[in-house]
Structure 1
């Protein structure tokens, strides 16, 4: 059984503030993730062009999440940078309202991504710091993001029955500004030491950390078809906007279930065991997606998102937090986010953009299956050798 500290629970008002950050971040994602690529598709962009936009965005997230993370740890000014990125990003996001070609949408995506890049790693670092020894409460705080994700997926799905796809962009812009004002409520969490603290990168060279990051990268590569082309895949199978909304909402409902039970999960199982289990379920999920040709079956398979995202994400955040010394907490989460949701999704989007155009979305899931199996075996081999932080 894993060992968890049992310190005093964080105050209610603090949990509300932290939950609000996830609430807004994933609420906007509930619009962008299922529908932005669908918007691009209806703007007559090709699968390859959509893949370029997704991979280019991920490339900047990789680079700038690291840059912002290093600055936050070096100058101990995470809160200032967090709020700054929120407001500048929101203002730049308004340019989507006039972008109507591949080049213009790509350019806006690139400049917005510079300031969007560090947001989730900052939020994760704030949360890990502020909840102290009560790491098992992370899931209960994080699940509020999934709740608004579900609501926005369903709302936008219904709105698309009555309005044009341009409403997707309007709602994303509006959401960014609300998120920026919510960011002001976050308290400072970094412990004041010297004016400048040079974060050490040596911890990132440890075998267990390197293997985890490679496996995490591959996990998100395997999700490339899912994140970039699921909505389009469903539409090609004959799904309507309500069915697409149900598909995405069901995934978040499933992940809420495991987040709600995060305390029980991590008190009973080692973090490494949860990670390996998540890889196994991912492989099964992508294989089932390859064979599924009915809309209802594809929607049902979405329940497995509870494990390929829910348990995997929680275990990954806790694992990196456990590995990182105090002076590199922000950088650690930034590297984790950059390697997985940055580099992993960039690679996955690019490869699957090509596969979508050449062999179709069904066979793209075979590629995802192979990648997930390899990643899981890689991590398992290191855990079996007893390599730990």
Structure 2
């Protein structure tokens, strides 16, 4: 039987997980459009599916922390997600499609937060090593984005169900190759009450900024491929544009550990969020210029890779080791779930079948600018989980 060392097994898990997202994120809107859904229905479906990520991560994170079995939680979630994904093979209208993807999304949320916890634990909280392993996820993403562009151009949007199912199977296989986590020592069993944690002004500033950033990404995740189609770009060109963004992301992830070690986290996050605002303005008003649009995709290095690495560093420092599963789940639920749902719903209303594209990306730029202002309010020194509880509320 094939066995893998810890780092290759983690890299394979990230590769497969984000490979699935490489199909789902850029081409899901086209898939729904191909099934005859209106932009309002697409926005509602994306919002409701994303909303399941608010409840899901908290449930799975609590179960993982209480049972100390994050691998079992991930494997169970992957199995049910695969079964739910099979509903995409049947074209039975809007409501069955909504139910199937809501179920898929709910169990999908059992995977990534616990994978992040397992990775940091296996790497002894080495942010640089994490970023290099996380790069394999970006590689999987870009491969599937480019492959998806080709498959879409040749076979249409119905290429998605079978292609995604193959990588869902690879993900499940990779999860069964991960080694179990050792039990925490007595010194690592320290808990802070959620009341203590939620009293922290630093936590609310960080989460508020991250929430606004995620809201700003909603038009990109839900409508960018449709936007490119309306501007006259082919499926292959659209795939290449997204590929430029992910290529920049890969390079940034590889060097993220060094970058995080050289700059103050609040200022670094603010710079990333400010560049994101600029990026959405370029997409809104210069999207018909291919070279300018391609150049704007390079800003994904800061918008996502460095911003995400910084967020992971904050969570690993802020939450005690025994509560990191729930800390990751809280971040995934509130930020990716709540921010994604709110952003998708607003984008679905403002998009107006493409007529409101520029206004929608302008709103996204405004949200990113607000995130930048919140990040600038973060303190010079971030609180750490091993500090006294009283110190966690430092403004």
Aligned ranges 1:157-306 → 2 under 5 Å: 157-189=149-181, 191-192=183-184, 200-201=193-194, 202-296=196-290, 297-306=292-301
Q: TM-score, normalised by structure 1?
A: 0.92
The question of whether the paired residues in 2 share the 8 Å contact of 1:73 and 1:199 is answered with no
Distance of 1:221 and 1:345 partners within structure 2: 5
Distance of 2:266 and 2:124 partners within structure 1: 21
Q: Which residue of 2 aligns with 1:85?
A: 77
The question of whether the paired residues in 1 share the 8 Å contact of 2:35 and 2:91 is answered with no
Distance of 1:368 and 1:133 partners within structure 2: 33
Q: Does 1:327 align with 2:330?
A: no
Q: Does 1:337 align with 2:356?
A: no
The question of whether the paired residues in 1 share the 8 Å contact of 2:11 and 2:134 is answered with yes
Q: Deviations over 1:27-61 (max 9, x none)?
A: 11111111011111121111111111111111111
Cα 1:149–1:73 change in 2 (3 A) is same
Distance of 1:197 and 1:104 partners within structure 2: 45
Aligned ranges 1:1-389 → 2 under 5 Å: 13-189=5-181, 191-192=183-184, 200-201=193-194, 202-296=196-290, 297-357=292-352, 360-383=356-379, 388-389=383-384
Distance of 1:279 and 1:209 partners within structure 2: 17
Distance of 1:281 and 1:383 partners within structure 2: 21
Q: State the shift of 1:163 in Å.
A: 1.3
The question of whether the paired residues in 2 share the 8 Å contact of 1:225 and 1:348 is answered with yes
Distance of 2:98 and 2:182 partners within structure 1: 35
Q: State the shift of 1:295 in Å.
A: 4.8
Cα 1:200–1:235 change in 2 (3 A) is same
Q: Deviations over 1:1-34 (max 9, x none)?
A: xxxxxxxxxxx92211111111001011111111
Q: State the shift of 1:284 in Å.
A: 1.1
Q: Which residue of 2 aligns with 1:8?
A: none
The question of whether the paired residues in 1 share the 8 Å contact of 2:192 and 2:320 is answered with no
Q: Deviations over 1:122-181 (max 9, x none)?
A: 111111111004222111000011111111111121122221321112111222122111
Q: Which runs of 5+ in 2 are unaligned?
A: 385-395
The question of whether the paired residues in 1 share the 8 Å contact of 2:245 and 2:298 is answered with yes
Moved more, 99-108 or 332-341: 99-108
The question of whether the paired residues in 1 share the 8 Å contact of 2:125 and 2:316 is answered with no
Q: State the shift of 1:232 in Å.
A: 0.5
Q: Deviations over 1:190-212 (max 9, x none)?
A: 52569x99884232431111111
Distance of 1:337 and 1:295 partners within structure 2: 35
The question of whether the paired residues in 1 share the 8 Å contact of 2:266 and 2:377 is answered with no
The question of whether the paired residues in 1 share the 8 Å contact of 2:73 and 2:110 is answered with no
The question of whether the paired residues in 2 share the 8 Å contact of 1:237 and 1:295 is answered with no
What RMSD, in angstroms, separates the aligned Cα atoms of the two structures? 1.9
Q: Deviations over 1:98-134 (max 9, x none)?
A: 1442112111011111210121111111111110042
The question of whether the paired residues in 1 share the 8 Å contact of 2:214 and 2:335 is answered with yes
Cα 1:257–1:25 change in 2 (3 A) is same
The question of whether the paired residues in 2 share the 8 Å contact of 1:74 and 1:199 is answered with no
Q: Which runs of 5+ in 1 are unaligned?
A: 1-11
Cα 1:199–1:170 change in 2 (3 A) is farther
Q: State the shift of 1:248 in Å.
A: 1.2
The question of whether the paired residues in 2 share the 8 Å contact of 1:75 and 1:197 is answered with no
Cα 1:186–1:349 change in 2 (3 A) is same
